[in-house]
Chains A and B, each alone.
Chain A
Amino acid sequence: MISFPLLKQSIKANKNIWLVITVATSLMLATIIFVTGNINVGELRDSFTETFTKSEIESQIKINSIDTFVQIDELTTTIYPEVKDLYDLSTGAISTYDAIKASGSLSPKEDAIATIVSETSPERVEMVTQIVSILLDQYELESPDEENLVPFKASFITNIILSNLDSETDEQRQQIIQMISESIVHAYSVNNSLSTEELQLISSNVVRLSFSFLIDQETLSFFEEYGFDLEEIDTFVNSSLLQYIALINNGIDSESAKTEISKSILSQMPEEVTNSLNEIVDLNIDHLVVGTIFFKIAGLLLPLVYVIVTSNSLLAGQIDSGSMAYVLSTPTKRKVVTFTQITYMVLSLFVMYFIILIAGLLTIKIVNDPDLMITAKDLSVLTVGAFTTMLSISGINFLTSAWFNKSKNATGLGGGISIFFLVSTILGLLGSPVIPSAIRIDALNFFNYFSLITLYDVIAILEGAFNYLNMAVLLSIGITTFTLGHIIFNKKDLPL
């Protein structure tokens, strides 16, 4: 089905341009991988990332602390009446006991309990009796001096509150309740009554004290990775709580206060700006440069030139010059001629892309940079895609070469279409989503619809999705155009 002498002729005739273009494209790919792998193209991007991440973390800390505060403050206000009640009760019991004991009674505890109970409403008698009894037992046992009286009361009240808790309450919550209760006792012992502001202050202190154990170790080490130490975190917590309390007390609702305080740098900007800055942060240099710029444009251009020139030289050029007469004056069927030339075209492209792939893989190995986001597998799939794309374009060029008897018409139409596709892809790139929106010209995305090369979805490939349908379309365009060229060339009159 193919003629080896003719295949040999085609190889000899086109070997130089093939070699030059294969080497040039391989070098181009190697350089691009080397550059993206070795030099930090994204320094600006990295500083953007750091700034934005820090700001995000800061705002996260603020949100967390306010959320924690809201919960703890609720707990504080719930606990406060109980603590107050218990404090008053224990203060009364202790002073009664002291007075009775000073009067020389033999059983000051029982007398004191009796005195207290006599002043209590009937429904609380049992409970008060129990509490005061325990209190006075301990008081007798420890007999705290004036100085230690408040801590004694605090510990006693806290124990009672804790013992009243649901048995399922976890340790963390118990610890927090303990802190709240003790803080309230201390503050109350001074003021005899606590305002909302004072309670909030207690809550915020509890938040600050408990923050380090409220956030898990993983989050903490993440914060630390970005240079936040505990002291710094505490400063954020403190300032955000102060701001929050101030805003709440000025009548602003909790949700808006929280939003106001936790605003990051990004959230303070208009949404469009935020989005475009986010895109820069998310921009994948390897995808853009290696994927799109190399495989869809730069790396396609040189093989495209090869395809245009070679397709023409395989048929139309030889008809135009008349040299095809020599092949056709031998018993070589035209069918065999076209089939041989198709074989040459496909094989030469295959070997070309194979060498380009090897060059790329070697470069990845040499660069050996773990940050390089393009893998050997990505590169292989990209090359398969590029080869398929080039097959369909070479089919179009082969068709025009088979169709026309004049080189200028064959290259004019075939090459024209091919270059149009490439230029459309370049224009389309400027409007495609891989370009950060800050510099993107959306209207140009329109051009992507005019280019066969668009079917070669580099970004999808890099994201691990190989679009089989697109590849099938490209492949069938290639097969159809090659077949059409084959049929046309076999039927037409040759001016030899």
Chain B
Amino acid sequence: MNEIIAEKVTKDYGDFRGIFDIEFNVKKGEIFGFIGTNGSGKTTTIRHIMGFSKPNNGVIKVRNIDATKHSTEVKKWIGYVPGEIAFPDLSTGKSFIKSQAELLKLKDFELANRLIDIFKIDLRANPRKMSKGMKQKTAIIAGFMNDSDILILDEPTTGLDPLMREEFMKLLEDQRKKGKTIFISSHLFEELEYLCDRVALIKDGRIVSIANIKDIKHPNERKYKIEFSDRANYESFVKLPFVFDNLRPKQNQVYIVVKRKDVLEFIMKLVEFDLKFMIEVKYNLEKYFKDTFNYKERVGIEL
């Protein structure tokens, strides 16, 4: 079942800025990542999910309800952490959290207090004078405390120190376990690769590709880089019937792609050779997108 559906959503700001024909769906219980450089259209897309902007074309639905026309309806299920952190003009972080809870008609503060504990925030400070990290943590608490079923997070880890980032990751894992649906944007590949079930790459306002992380983490092929001790070893190895991705005779190096089922056979063969080193060339999200991107560019798909 899809919690969020975007159908050909277009918002043209002119000068090729905006988002164009954005299409994706976020399944219930899924963590959906949205990656792209600054200004690629991540926040604009989120604006449309939140009903702050109306698309020129297309429709965004949350739980099958038009998020533009019935944005208030939709927000009953949504917890939101905005990308731009600016708080209302209130004197303390506490009064901000309180005011936000009142707006949400929140009665139960258990979750909020637990989050305050986890992130170790001093809510006596004036939210406008907080450090970036503190602000970010306060925003996270405000977004999570309602225990919403759908979480929309716009670059939520910016400003967090590594320790807090880890806490945040844990928090998201918890949410996943609770069956929450999460839409998270970021410009950090590792973060999304670690968290997400699927990740969409947005570039210049268009979704270039949507990757399934499972496929990237557990690919059908493995790639290795091998350097042989001398020329003779190299020469005799390249004669073997393997699929070579790249040959570098000068360094006595080869890049070789092996099917998962053939790995054992490949290792056994390798024993016969004198090697300087062998490393597995890990495949990751960034490479995946780079490859997709290069491929599309090569075949002339307009991006």
Interface residues of A (CB under 8 A from B): 3-6, 8-9, 12-14, 313, 318, 321-323, 325-333, 493-496
Q: Does B104 contact A (CB under 8 A)?
A: yes
Known: A5-B102, A12-B90, A325-B84. A496 touches B75 (CB 8 A): no
Least CB separation from B96: chain A residue: A326
Q: Does B85 contact A (CB under 8 A)?
A: yes
Q: Are B95 and A3 in contact (CB under 8 A)?
A: no
- The residue that B99 contacts in the complex, of A9, A14, A495, with Cβ under 8 A, is A9
Report the Cα distance A330→B99, complex, angstroms: 11
Report the Cα distance A495→B53, complex, angstroms: 7
Q: Which of B171-221 contact A (CB under 8 A)?
A: none
Known: A5-B102, A8-B99, A496-B84. A329 touches B50 (CB 8 A): yes
Top 6 nearest A-B pairs by Cβ distance? A5-B102, A13-B89, A329-B80, A321-B86, A322-B84, A493-B53
Which of B53, B72, B143 has the most CB atoms of chain A within a 10 A radius of its CB? B72
Report the Cα distance A14→B89, complex, angstroms: 8
Least CB separation from A6: chain B residue: B103
Q: Are B89 and A328 in contact (CB under 8 A)?
A: no
Q: Are A12 and B52 in contact (CB under 8 A)?
A: no
Identify 13 new A-B residue pairs, CB closer than 8 A, beyond the known A12-B95, A323-B89: A8-B102, A13-B88, A322-B86, A323-B86, A325-B52, A328-B50, A328-B52, A330-B104, A331-B104, A332-B103, A493-B52, A493-B53, A496-B82
Q: Are B102 and A4 in contact (CB under 8 A)?
A: yes
Least CB separation from A318: chain B residue: B88
Residues of chain B within 8 A (CB-CB) of A13 are: 88-90
Q: Which of B19-69 contact A (CB under 8 A)?
A: 47, 50-54
Least CB separation from A14: chain B residue: B89
Q: Are B72 and A326 in contact (CB under 8 A)?
A: no
| 17 A-B residue pairs with CB within 8 Å | A5-B102, A9-B89, A13-B88, A321-B84, A323-B89, A325-B50, A327-B88, A328-B51, A329-B79, A330-B75, A330-B100, A330-B103, A332-B103, A333-B72, A493-B47, A493-B53, A493-B54
Q: Which of B67-119 contact A (CB under 8 A)?
A: 72-73, 75-76, 78-80, 82, 84-91, 95-96, 99-100, 102-104
CB distance from B285 to the nearest CB of A (A): 28
Q: Does B142 contact A (CB under 8 A)?
A: yes
Q: Are B87 and A495 in contact (CB under 8 A)?
A: no
Q: Are A329 and B95 in contact (CB under 8 A)?
A: no
Q: Are B103 and A496 in contact (CB under 8 A)?
A: no
Known: A326-B142, A330-B75. A496 touches B90 (CB 8 A): no
Residues of chain A within 8 A (CB-CB) of B73 are: 331
Least CB separation from B76: chain A residue: A331
CB distance from B51 to the nearest CB of A (A): 8
Known: A322-B86, A494-B53. A329 touches B99 (CB 8 A): no
Residues of chain A within 8 A (CB-CB) of B104 are: 330-331
Report the Cα distance A332→B104, complex, angstroms: 8
Residues of chain B within 8 A (CB-CB) of A327 are: 88, 103
Known: A9-B99, A12-B95. A326 touches B88 (CB 8 A): yes
CB distance from A247 to the nearest CB of B (A): 83
Least CB separation from A328: chain B residue: B52
Least CB separation from B77: chain A residue: A331
What total of A-B pairs shows CB separation below 8 Å?
Answer: 84
User: Chain B at the A interface: mostly helix, strand, loop or mixed?
Assistant: loop
CB distance from B141 to the nearest CB of A (A): 12
Residues of chain A within 8 A (CB-CB) of B52 are: 325, 328, 493-496
Q: Are A5 and B99 in contact (CB under 8 A)?
A: yes
Report the Cα distance A35→B84, complex, angstroms: 52
Residues of chain A within 8 A (CB-CB) of B75 are: 328-331
CB distance from A436 to the nearest CB of B (A): 47
Residues of chain A within 8 A (CB-CB) of B79 are: 329
Residues of chain B within 8 A (CB-CB) of A12 are: 89-91, 95
Q: How many B residues are at the interface, by size bracket?
A: 20 to 34
CB distance from B102 to the nearest CB of A (A): 4
- The residue that B82 contacts in the complex, of A318, A322, A493, with Cβ under 8 A, is A322
Report the Cα distance A318→B89, complex, angstroms: 9
Report the Cα distance A323→B50, complex, angstroms: 14
Residues of chain B within 8 A (CB-CB) of A329 are: 50, 75, 78-80, 82, 143
Least CB separation from A321: chain B residue: B86
Residues of chain B within 8 A (CB-CB) of A318 are: 88
Least CB separation from B102: chain A residue: A5
Report the Cα distance A328→B88, complex, angstroms: 12
CB distance from B248 to the nearest CB of A (A): 50
Q: Are A326 and B100 in contact (CB under 8 A)?
A: yes
- The residue that B103 contacts in the complex, of A5, A313, A322, A493, with Cβ under 8 A, is A5
Residues of chain B within 8 A (CB-CB) of A496 are: 47, 50, 52, 82, 84
Report the Cα distance A125→B53, complex, angstroms: 125
Residues of chain A within 8 A (CB-CB) of B51 are: 328
Least CB separation from B84: chain A residue: A322
Q: Are B88 and A322 in contact (CB under 8 A)?
A: no
Q: Are A331 and B88 in contact (CB under 8 A)?
A: no
Report the Cα distance A494→B50, complex, angstroms: 10
Known: A328-B52, A329-B50, A331-B75. A322 touches B102 (CB 8 A): no
Residues of chain B within 8 A (CB-CB) of A321 are: 84, 86
CB distance from A84 to the nearest CB of B (A): 105
CB distance from A295 to the nearest CB of B (A): 31
Residues of chain B within 8 A (CB-CB) of A5 are: 99, 102-103
Report the Cα distance A331→B143, complex, angstroms: 13
CB distance from A443 to the nearest CB of B (A): 45
Q: Are A494 and B47 in contact (CB under 8 A)?
A: yes
Least CB separation from A327: chain B residue: B103
Residues of chain B within 8 A (CB-CB) of A326 are: 82, 87-88, 96, 100, 103, 142
CB distance from A268 to the nearest CB of B (A): 67
Report the Cα distance A178→B257, complex, angstroms: 150
CB distance from B12 to the nearest CB of A (A): 12
Report the Cα distance A4→B101, complex, angstroms: 12
Least CB separation from A491: chain B residue: B54
Report the Cα distance A495→B87, complex, angstroms: 15
Report the Cα distance A3→B99, complex, angstroms: 11
Least CB separation from A335: chain B residue: B72
Which of A6, A313, A330 has the most CB atoms of chain B within a 10 A radius of its CB? A330
Known: A6-B103, A325-B80. A332 touches B86 (CB 8 A): no
Least CB separation from B87: chain A residue: A323
Residues of chain B within 8 A (CB-CB) of A6 are: 103
Residues of chain B within 8 A (CB-CB) of A313 are: 89
